[in-house]
Chains A and B, each alone.
Chain A
Amino acid sequence: MTATTEVGGPGAGRAEVGKARLRKEDRHLITGRSRFTDNMVLPGMLHLAMVRSPYAHAKITAIDVSAAKASPGVMAVLTGADVAAEQGSLPNAWPITPDQKAPAHGAIAVEEVAFAGEVVAVIVARTPAAARDAVELVDVSYDELPVVMDLEEAFTDKVLAHSSLESNKSATWVFDSAEAGTGSSVQEAIDNAEVLIERTFYQQRLIPAFMEPRSTVVDPTGEQITVWTSTQIPHILRLMLALTLGIPESKVRVIAPDVGGGFGGKLQVTPEEAITVLAARRTGKPCKYTETRSESLQAGHHGRAQVQRLKLSATRDGTVTGLSVNLLADMGAYLGLVTSGIPILGAFMYNSIYKFPAYRFECNNVFTNKTWTDAYRGAGRPEATFAIERLMDELATELGMDPLAVREKNWIRHEEFPFATVAGLEYDTGNYEAATSKAVELFDYQGLRAEQKRRRESNDPIQLGIGVSTFTEMCGLAPSRVLGSLSYGAGGWEHAQVRVLPTGNIEVVTGSSAHGQGHETAWSQLVADRLGVPFENVEVLHGDTQISQRGLDTYGSRSLTVGGMAVLAAADKVIEKAKVVAAHMMEASEEDIEFTAGSFSVKGTDTSTSLGEIALATFAAHNLPDGFEPNLDSDATFDPVNFSYPHGTHLAAMEVDTETGRVSIRKYVCVDDVGVVVNPMLVEGQVHGGLAQGIAQALYEEAVYDDAGTLVTGSFVDYLVPGAPDLPHYITARTETPATSNQLGAKGVGEAGTIASTPAIVNGILDAVRHLGVKDIKMPCTPSRVWHALQAAQTTGGVQ
């Protein structure tokens, strides 16, 4: 049984936590005083431009760089052959099976290219223009090879994406609840099913499309190589660059200055980063590379790209008895940092908030001649959530039940927590009833159902549908032991340091570096409350491996639940240290010192001293207890014991113009339960942005290639990212069921909106047109696709 309150509950008594503070980082970000990597200018800095393959699969037979080298301003031209001995192979840190197959992945292709946009040479020149001009002068001879673009075709191995591999299959990963001891046999459930829902869903390929294109500056002068780069992962990058390029880790410093968004797209060790290091080392000069938007779309990693074959068994009363998932996951041409593990992150989420007893998941990772895929907001979990939420609607339709009723029949009731799931996780807390009833009320569910009925009866050209999505996700990545059991190459802890300056000001050093989330504000609120100091007196330092020496960076909605906890633990150690000095100063015993609101007092007296006074006394060190080191600084590393499980209920009222196929969002209500909230404004921002990206998958975005392997959606003219005018006014609300996996009770919010919204939108569209005979529409549900689906349903009498 878990306690759920409306917003403002547990946080209400605290001074800072729970307060909708404006972001302290915004002043410099919105007044142009930002320090993005491309703003960096170093003396004598050279500029890079990449020569990229126009072919998706080809042998490189010759590269003539003589004209480029002779071009004005060009200092060097490097090909794959030039750097083959030192470039190593870019890392895949998540070999999901011991026999996982992967091609070598040099930053610059040496013999063969496997996707259009792969780097074959780099120009190093005095100006960006000189570098760009020389790109045209590099003469690369290719022997074209057959390409395999379609995932299902790739699985047949008729055409190989890499000549060096015997198969396109990289790995097969299976979870079976009967074998794992977490449930019963799916085959039995399917054999005994009263109702069997079999569907295939396509998760189209998406492009993260962060606002700031990737940029890297490398300074090789001095003892260390310093790398400024637009990344989510300065710490992991430092380690991986060192390992990949054979440089001692201690000789690499990575700085992530202001970073303009990532969405998983900057959770990568990129070829371009490695190439910039190679070029700087080769020339001995600082080097800068900033990609164009076209390069970003073509060569930055993509996301999703899965085919999901699903079987859901149930009884006629709507009780789900089992789920079988058979997945094809498109790796693209290479395995990036965590490419192969992305579908596995979804494996634990197909059962979602439901308690059916049998589950089997099989994933086949497959290579194609496309840009490689990797983390994109939600990473595996949106795909899983889409599948199960679409299936629940299909089941409701099959049985003539209300989609909410089917869900309620199957979800874990709030008194059943903690709950061991069929996928092997333990959900600590949750209250699906509370979030759902609040959403239903805000949505006017019954009123919209009545309107839907009227529109159907009057054959209105604008049909109305209601899309339901009740989701949960695992985030707060992650307990290190769990990651170890999944063959992930690192742990999931996070580090923090809290330093008390002589003035009493506080420096917080965090390993979790923000790229737009607002960590500086949230961490300041946390520490201000814990240490009883003013919010303004807290400075948050991050994103530089020389300042923040340890960390595992920002992804997977982990910052607050893992990094924030490390900050609190470090602050608690500061208090313990300060107590020793306070006792000494006030000539009392340590046991008698009480700490409240920034003040240390002696129990039962009115004698007290402040943290600031203690800090100054510690700094002076004139009169400290024997053996006490003169500082209050403290380090802490937090490793969670469990994931956290945000959940929520999203309801979308979708209007479909049956004449044009245009879909519009009439009303969108989401009630999210992300546990205890530190800053409601930051949470609101994360929810809004997440919804936009989830809606974008449902309606707008798709990376499309032609048969030859060229990315057709190579600019924002064709890759349609919705803007504010294309999105509705959201009605957002929260319930608050604190997580028990961390002291704070927080659960994470970065991915919730993206995970929940895609199925809500598509379920809503289908609910609007299913009575006209439409069974399914592939994402993105473009007007053209919706109209064609309606036409097909009409001409075939309801069977598409």
Chain B
Amino acid sequence: MIPSAFDYAAPTTVEEALGLLAAADSAGDDVKVLAGGQSLLPVMKLRMADPSMVVDLGRITGLSGVTDDGDSLTIGAMTPHHVVASDPLIARHLPLLAKAAATVADPQVRHRGTFGGALVHADPAGDMPAPVLAMGATLVIAGPNGERSVDAADFFQGYFTTAVREGEILTRIRVPKFTGWGAHYEKFTRVSQQWSIVGIAAMVRVEGGTIAEARLGLTNMASTPLRATAVEQALAGAALTAEAIAAACLHAAEGTEPASDLNGDAEYRRHLAQVLAKRAVLAAAGL
């Protein structure tokens, strides 16, 4: 478990980091950005990734933490999962995010691994992309030409691929508040600490006896996280009953393209999506 030799830089500002990336790019170096290192370092040790240079964002101040912007929260890309899981502002306004972050890997990984790192890594079985997609977050990316903002719907582009281009860094994530919404992240694994076989991120806004609005994100049902739009539409205005929710969630596998692997084939995953969506929505609605 020894990686190949590589150059290492630990800039203290985003500008410096971008400069290093640009210089490495023009020199033809294969450069990787290190956030929490919980995915990058294992693949380097297995020599599945072999960068000639690693730019460590760990010493840049201002990339971590949660701020209240009124209608939204802004979360620094370097905020560790355990902060996302335990921050009071996130718990109050973005309960779905807190619940999903609490299911990531194990305590050690949650203390080292970062929110932004997980989003840029974009593992289809990772737990953070689906809630970010479901909440319609905006991802702020710094690059050589300044900052640009990308909607979550455009951010996740494929298997381990995002809108972040070479020479760019994800700096923060802006998420509109969902204060008062019920939320639940239903993660299905075979052992307690495992990537999701299927995960469902669900939020509902209940008014009186009906579901006024619902948002669902699906983990590991395609090469990118997906919105379960058919379920969301079926739930909007539906009665707050187990039967209505179960009926709506039969749409959960529509438009999905799950992979087959040792943990289950695509047919099983499509079935799981329906069952887990029902359970996630029931839990989010407090039923």
In the complex the two chains form, is A717's CB within 8 Å of B268's CB? no
Whether the pair A722, B191 counts as a contact (CB closer than 8 A) is: yes
Does the CB pair B262–A704 fall under 8 Å? yes
Task: Let me know if A292 is at the binding interface, CB within 8 A.
Answer: yes
Most chain B CB neighbours (cut-off 10 Å) among A128, A293, A660: A660
**A726 CB contact (under 8 Å) in B188, B192, B271:** B192
Known A-B contacts A704-B262, A784-B263, A788-B268; A129 and B195 likewise in contact (beta carbons under 8 Å): no
User: How many angstroms between the C-alpha atoms of A129 and B265 in the bound complex?
Assistant: 39
CB of A723 closer than 8 Å to a CB of B: yes
A726 near B2 with CB under 8 A, answer no
Given A128-B2, A133-B4, A660-B275: A784 in contact with B265 (beta carbons within 8 A): yes
Bitwise, A294-316 to B at CB < 8 A (1) or not (0) is: 10000000000000000000000
A718-732 residues with Cβ-Cβ distance < 8 A to B are: 718, 720-723, 725-726
B228-287 residues with Cβ-Cβ distance < 8 A to A are 262-265, 268, 271-272, 275-276
Q: State whether B46 touches A294 (Cβ < 8 A).
A: yes
A285 at interface, CB cutoff 8 A = no
The answer to whether A783 and B1 have CB atoms under 8 Å apart is: no
- Rounded to whole Å, the gap between the CB of A614 and the closest CB of chain B is 55
Say yes or no: B262 contacts A712, CB within 8 Å.
yes
A723 x B263 contact (CB < 8 A):
no
Please tell me if A782 contacts chain B, counting CB pairs below 8 Å: yes
In the complex formed, the residue of B with least CB distance to A715 is B46
Q: Confirm or deny: B161 has a beta carbon within 8 angstroms of a beta carbon on chain A.
A: no
Main secondary structure of the interface of B (DSSP, over half): loop
Q: Which residues on A sit within 8 Å (CB–CB) of B192?
A: 723, 725-726
Contacts of B157 in A (CB 8 A): none
Q: When A659-B275, A787-B271 are in contact, do A782 and B190 touch as well, CB less than 8 Å?
A: yes
Say yes or no: is A713 at the interface (Cβ < 8 Å to chain B): yes
Chain A, interface size: which category?
Answer: 20 to 34
- A661–B272 alpha-carbon span in the complex (Å): 9
Q: Is A132 interfacial (CB-CB < 8 Å)?
A: yes
- Assess whether B1 is in contact with A292, with CB atoms less than 8 Å apart: yes
A700 at the binding interface (Cβ < 8 Å): yes
Contacts of B191 in A (CB 8 A): 700, 720-723, 725-726
List of A residues within 8 angstroms of B272 by Cβ: 660
Whether B210 is near chain A, meaning CB under 8 Å from some CB there, is no
CA distance A293 to B47 in the complex (A): 14
Give chain A nearest CB distance to B191 CB in angstroms: 5
Q: A783 with B262: in contact, given A128-B2, A129-B2, A788-B268 (CB under 8 Å)?
A: no
For chain B, residues 166 to 208, give those with C-beta under 8 angstroms from any C-beta of chain A: 188, 190-195, 197
Is the Cβ of A717 less than 8 Å from the Cβ of B195? Answer: yes
Knowing A294-B46, A660-B272, A723-B191, say if A782 contacts B263 (CB, 8 Å): yes
Q: Whole-angstrom distance from the CB of B102 to the nearest CB of chain A? A: 14
> Which residue of chain A has its CB nearest to the CB of B272?
A660
- A784 near B268: Cβ-Cβ < 8 Å: yes
Nearest residue, chain A, Cβ from B193: A723
Distance from A577 Cβ to chain B, minimum over Cβ atoms (Å): 53
Residue numbers in B under 8 Å from A700 (CB-CB): 190-191
Contact present for B262 and A293 (CB under 8 Å): no
Taken together as a complex, chains A and B put the C-alpha atoms of A212 and B128 apart, in Å, by 33
Please name the residue on chain B nearest to A720 by beta carbon: B191
Decide yes or no whether B27 CB sits under 8 A from chain A.
no
- Chain B nearest CB from A610 CB (Å) reads 53
**Residue among B4, B275, B276 with most chain A CB within 10 A:** B275
Query: Can you name 8 A-B pairs with beta carbons within 8 Å?
Result: A133-B5, A294-B46, A660-B272, A660-B276, A700-B191, A723-B192, A782-B264, A788-B268
Known: A720-B194, A725-B193, A784-B264. 11 other contacts (CB 8 A): A293-B1, A660-B275, A718-B262, A721-B191, A723-B191, A725-B192, A726-B192, A782-B190, A782-B263, A783-B268, A787-B268
Residues of chain A touching chain B, judged by Cβ–Cβ distance below 8 Å, are 128-129, 132-133, 136, 292-294, 659-662, 700, 704, 712-713, 715, 717-718, 720-723, 725-726, 782-784, 787-788
